[in-house]
Amino acid sequence: SPTAFQECFTKNDVVLANRPRNLSGKHIFYNYTTVGSCSYGEHWRNLRRIIATDVLSSQRILSFSEIRKDETHRLVQKLAKESSSEFAQVELTSTFRDMTYNNMMRMIAGKRYYGDDSELKDVDEAKEFRETVTELLKLAGVSNKADYLPFLKWFDFEGLNKKLTTTHKRFDVFVSALIKEQRSKKQREDSMIDHLLILQESQPDYYTDQVIKGLTLAMLFAGTDSSGATLEWAFCNLLNHPEVLKKARYELDTQIGRDRLLNESELSKLPYLKNIILETLRLYPPAPLLIPHVSSEDITIGGFNIPSDTLVIVNGWGMQRDPKLWSDATSFKPERFEKEGEDKKLSAFGLGRRACPGEFMALHGVSFTLGLLIQCFDWKRVSAEEIDMQEQTWFNLTKLHPLKAMCKPRPIVNKALN
């Protein structure tokens, strides 16, 4: 139950701080399928600390705002090109994915691998990256029966371990080359890898290459599709609830105006936009079961005795649709978050010390993109039929069918084109 979950995190915060181990005793880096017997997992404690202090500190997140602005403006330009003065159909799923991956890879290594406007689009390096990441995500989303029936591990049931190890090696080769390339540059830039390489010079045992690779994988896995999926679900909800879209547009027009574009620093003026995102995360959390935790000692959660070393999986999706906790639980109502304290009931980013360290950045990035798209375009559904909200099993909770919508530029779009 949600109450028990909260209690467990407040009382026994430390208890759920371990990662599962795989057969050979190594810490499993990620999720049910373990992303291969990934050796980065062993460094997890260091990774988590470095993420908080060096990679996702508020200062560094703000320092990347120019990248987010540039990528969002490119997105507006792309959509404006595809539509004209009249409504035109656009496909949003891959558009959002390309943008979030470009955003992240620019922060990590200063590279853009996605979209027609990428200078690297057709080179082997970009193809290799796109293929490997797709393969890793596909495998990470597979439910591994051996996680629940441990004896199956002895047979590598369904060959998952082998596939994961192969793909992980491919990723490792790719990121090693990326680090080598950045290291050989005469001048350091401001990317995450460059920043960590500078720190490596003074503390080589702490900021090792393994740690840099682990961070790259963590950021790519945790920070890209989650934001892309949130944008996608938010849009589905807006298209199915035109009255909410109208209210969000009104907020933007009155708080920011019709003749200048929204800036990231102005997001605090748009509480309704934020509530749309919170309500989207409530009904469609990108990580519906969070990330599995393991009890490091015997504990009791909600009256259940959990022995030490047990895989604990939290059904965040279920808690966020629980009618005992939320009125009209399955309806999309951003207004519910106007009531003080409602947002505290959300678990979309997890809770406690293993909660998502990218929450601030994610909320910032998603709000900014959504705000700008509402400001720059008129939107409607492709047909009178409601958008189909079926979900698919992937690493994150994503839409089964790609999202298509009709969009028409508003005059303000010229500001982004210029």
Q: In whole angstroms, what is the distance from residue 341 CA to residue 345 CA?
A: 7
| Piece in contact with ligand HEM (CB under 6 A), picked from 123-131, 145-153, 218-226, 321-329 | 218-226
Q: Smaller CB distance to ligand HEM: residue 20 or 286?
A: 286
Place of tokens 């062993």: 42
| Piece in contact with ligand HEM (CB under 6 A), picked from 188-196, 317-325, 348-356, 403-411 | 348-356
Q: Among residues 79, 290, 319, 406, which is the contact residue for ligand HEM, using CB under 6 A?
A: 290
Q: Smaller CB distance to ligand HEM: residue 280 or 375?
A: 280
Q: Among residues 7, 23, 42, 48, which is the contact residue for ligand HEM, using CB under 6 A?
A: 48
According to the binding rule CB under 6 A, does residue 356 interact with ligand HEM? Answer: yes
According to the binding rule CB under 6 A, does residue 222 interact with ligand HEM? Answer: yes
Number of residues that bind ligand HEM (CB under 6 A): 26
Closest approach, Cβ 410 to ligand HEM, in A, equals 27
Scan residues 163-202 and list those touching ligand HEM (CB under 6 A): none
Yes or no: say if 387 and 381 are a contact pair by the CB < 8 Å rule. Answer: yes
Per residue, the 3-state secondary structure of 85-153, as one string, reads CCCEEEECHHHHHHHHHHHHHHHHHCCCCCCCCCCCCCCHHHHHHHHHHHHHHHHHCCCCHHHCCHHHH
Q: In whole angstroms, what is the distance from residue 191 CA to residue 193 CA?
A: 6
| Piece in contact with ligand HEM (CB under 6 A), picked from 128-136, 280-288, 301-309, 407-415 | 280-288
Q: 12 φ, ψ to 5°? A: -120, 40
According to the binding rule CB under 6 A, does residue 67 interact with ligand HEM? Answer: no
Q: In whole angstroms, what is the distance from residue 225 CA to residue 98 CA?
A: 10
Q: In whole angstroms, what is the distance from residue 234 CA to residue 285 CA?
A: 11
Q: In whole angstroms, what is the distance from residue 306 CA to residue 312 CA?
A: 8
Binding site membership for heme: which residues? 356
DSSP string of 230-260, one letter each residue: HHHHHHHHHHH-HHHHHHHHHHHHHHT-SSS
CA distances from residue 188 to 178, 184, 197, 206, 213 in whole angstroms, order as listed: 14, 9, 9, 20, 18
| Piece in contact with ligand HEM (CB under 6 A), picked from 48-56, 170-178, 300-308, 324-332 | 48-56
Q: Smaller CB distance to ligand HEM: residue 13 or 91?
A: 13
Q: Among residues 214, 223, 371, 409, which is the contact residue for ligand HEM, using CB under 6 A?
A: 223
Provide the β-strand partners of residue 18: 294
Closest approach, Cβ 30 to ligand HEM, in A, equals 9
Q: Among residues 8, 319, 361, 416, which is the contact residue for ligand HEM, using CB under 6 A?
A: 361
Three-state secondary-structure class, residue 343? helix
Closest approach, Cβ 216 to ligand HEM, in A, equals 11
Query: How is the chain split among helix, strand and coil, in percent rounded to 5?
Result: 55, 5, 35
H/E stretch holding 30: none
According to the binding rule CB under 6 A, does residue 354 interact with ligand HEM? Answer: yes
Closest approach, Cβ 274 to ligand HEM, in A, equals 13
Residue facing ligand HEM at closest CB distance: 358
According to the binding rule CB under 6 A, does residue 231 interact with ligand HEM? Answer: no
- Interface positions with ligand HEM (CB under 6 A): 48, 51, 56, 218-219, 222-223, 226-227, 230, 281, 286-287, 290-291, 348-350, 354-358, 361-362, 366
